[in-house]
C-alpha cells in the first residue's frame, strides 16, 4: 500500500447483484505485485462473478475496481484472462494455433497481419504447454486438458502483467494439472500477478502463496498458511465443511495467527 507502484488489483467495497439479489457484498481486496492468489469458496459464492466484475463483463452495483491504478476499463489491456471451459464455443472454426495467435493481437494491433515473429512466439508458447504437435487441430478435437492448455498458451502469448484464471484446474488430467502448476509458479517468478479461481481445498495451500476465502463477502485474505485454518474455512463453507474439516485440521498445524481479516 505504501509502495510507489500502483497495485495490480485493487477492489474497494465491491457489490454485485443479479436482478436485485446480491451475489457479492462489500468486497475489499488489495493484491500485491507478484502474488499467486487462489480464490476459494463454495459453489455460488461469487468467485466467478468477482473475476467477471474485474473483466468488466458484469457491472458492479457499488464500489470500484482498479487495475494498476487505472479504472478497470483502461487497465484491462494489461490483463490476461483464461475463461472457464464451458464459456467457449468449441465448434468455432479455429485451430489451436489460431487461438494462441489471438493472444498476440494486443502486440500486433487490431488491423495488421501477424508477423513471422508472432507465429514463432505463439509456437513457443504452445511448445511450453506441450501442445505444439496439436497446433493445427480444430479446438473441438482436443481433450479437456489439452483445451485448457491451449488457453494457457494463449495467456502466455499475451505477456500480460496480471492474469485472471477461472477454474483452470476443473476437469483436467493429472499431466495438465502439473503443467498448469508449473506455469503458475514460473509466471509468478517472472514477477507477474496471478489470480486463480480454485475449488479444490486439498491442493490450495500447495499451489498458492495467498488465499482469498470468499462467500458472498470476503471472509479472509492472507498468506496461505495464515488463512487456511479450521475457523476461517468453517466461516467460508458453513455447514458444508463437516466433510472438509479433516483437511482443515491437517493443515492447522501449519498456520500462524496473523491473518488479515476483512469483515
Partner 1 sequence: MSSIITFLTGPWATPELISWNFQILVMGFLVCISCALVGTFVSLRRMSLLGDAISHGILPGIVLAYLFTGSLSLFPMWIGAALAGIACGVSIQWLHTKTRLREDAAMGLTFTTFFALGMVLLGLNAENIHLDVACILYGEIGLIPLETDWYLFGKNLGNQAIWSMGFICIFTQLATFFFYKILLVTSFDLSLAKSLGIPVNWVQYGLMFFLALVVVASFESVGVIMVLAMMILPPVSLSFLFTRLPCILWSCIALSIFYSLGGIHLAYAMDFPISASIALTAVFIFLPCCLLGSKGGLLIGLFDLVKKPQIEDCSTK
To the nearest 10°, report the CA torsion of 81, 198, 35, 152. -40
What backbone phi and psi angles, to 5 degrees, belong to 132?
Answer: -60, -40
Burial class (CB in 10 A: 0-12, 13-18, 19+), 256: exposed
Q: Residue count of the chain, please give it.
A: 263
To the nearest 10°, report the CA torsion of 198, 96, 129, 110. -80
Q: How far is the CB of 230 from partner 1 (least distance, A)?
A: 36
- Of 9-17, 20-28, 42-50, 133-141, the segment contacting partner 1 by CB under 8 A is 133-141
Q: Which is nearer to partner 1, 130 or 203 (CB)?
A: 130
- Of 8-16, 58-66, 93-101, 206-214, the segment contacting partner 1 by CB under 8 A is 93-101
Q: How far is the CB of 105 from partner 1 (least distance, A)?
A: 6
Using CB under 8 A, pick the residue from 145, 159, 181, 225 that binds partner 1. Answer: 145
- The answer to whether the CB of 85 falls within 8 A of the CB of 144 is yes
| Cα torsion angle, 146, 148, 154, 158, sign | negative
Q: Is 80 in the site for partner 1 (CB under 8 A)?
A: yes
Q: Is 131 in the site for partner 1 (CB under 8 A)?
A: yes
Q: How far is the CB of 239 from partner 1 (least distance, A)?
A: 32
Using CB under 8 A, pick the residue from 13, 70, 86, 173 that binds partner 1. Answer: 173
Q: How far is the CB of 177 from partner 1 (least distance, A)?
A: 13
Residues within window 215-254 making contact with partner 1, judged by CB under 8 A:
none
| Interface pattern 20-59 for partner 1 (x via CB under 8 A) | -----------------------------------xxx--
Q: Is 110 in the site for partner 1 (CB under 8 A)?
A: yes
Using CB under 8 A, pick the residue from 15, 95, 159, 203 that binds partner 1. Answer: 95
Q: Is 102 in the site for partner 1 (CB under 8 A)?
A: yes
| Cα torsion angle, 247, 39, 61, 84, sign | negative
**C-alpha pair distances (Å), 194 with each of 42, 125, 179, 185, 191:** 20, 18, 15, 9, 10
- The rounded radius of gyration (Å) of the Cα atoms in the chain is 19
Binding residues with partner 1: total (CB under 8 A):
40
Q: Is 88 in the site for partner 1 (CB under 8 A)?
A: yes
Please state, in angstroms and rounded to a whole number, the distance separating the CA atoms of residues 245 and 102: 43
Cell of 106: 494486443
Interface residue list for partner 1 (CB under 8 A): 55-57, 76-77, 79-81, 83, 87-89, 91-95, 98-99, 102-103, 105-106, 110-111, 130-131, 133-134, 137-138, 141-143, 145-146, 154, 173, 175, 179
Amino acid at each position: 500500500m505504501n509502495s510507489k507502484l500502483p497495485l495490480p488489483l485493487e477492489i474497494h467495497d465491491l457489490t454485485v447483484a443479479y436482478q436485485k439479489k446480491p451475489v457479492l457484498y462489500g468486497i475489499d481486496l488489495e493484491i500485491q505485485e507478484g502474488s499467486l492468489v487462489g480464490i476459494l469458496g463454495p459453489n455460488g459464492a461469487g468467485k466467478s462473478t468477482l473475476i467477471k466484475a474485474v473483466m468488466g463483463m458484469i457491472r458492479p452495483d457499488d464500489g470500484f475496481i482498479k487495475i494498476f491504478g487505472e479504472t478497470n476499463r483502461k487497465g484491462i489491456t494489461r490483463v490476461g484472462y483464461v475463461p472457464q471451459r464451458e464459456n467457449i464455443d468449441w465448434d468455432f472454426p479455429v485451430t489451436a494455433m489460431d487461438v494462441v495467435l489471438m493472444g498476440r493481437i494486443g502486440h500486433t494491433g487490431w488491423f495488421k497481419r501477424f508477423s513471422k515473429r508472432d507465429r514463432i512466439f505463439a509456437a513457443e508458447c504452445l511448445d511450453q504447454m506441450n501442445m505444439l504437435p496439436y497446433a493445427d487441430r480444430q479446438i473441438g478435437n482436443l481433450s479437456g486438458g489439452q483445451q485448457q492448455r491451449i488457453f494457457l498458451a494463449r495467456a502466455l502469448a499475451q505477456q500480460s502483467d496480471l492474469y485472471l484464471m477461472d477454474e483452470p484446474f476443473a476437469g483436467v488430467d493429472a499431466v495438465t494439472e502439473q503443467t498448469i502448476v508449473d506455469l503458475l509458479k514460473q509466471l509468478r517468478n517472472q514477477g507477474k500477478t496471478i489470480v486463480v479461481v480454485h475449488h479444490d481445498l486439498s491442493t490450495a495451500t500447495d499451489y498458492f502463496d495467498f488465499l482469498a476465502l470468499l462467500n458472498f463477502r470476503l471472509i479472509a485474505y492472507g498468506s496461505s498458511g495464515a488463512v487456511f485454518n479450521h475457523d476461517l474455512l468453517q466461516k467460508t463453507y458453513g455447514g458444508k465443511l463437516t466433510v472438509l474439516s479433516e483437511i482443515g485440521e491437517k493443515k492447522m498445524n501449519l498456520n500462524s495467527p496473523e491473518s488479515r481479516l476483512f469483515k
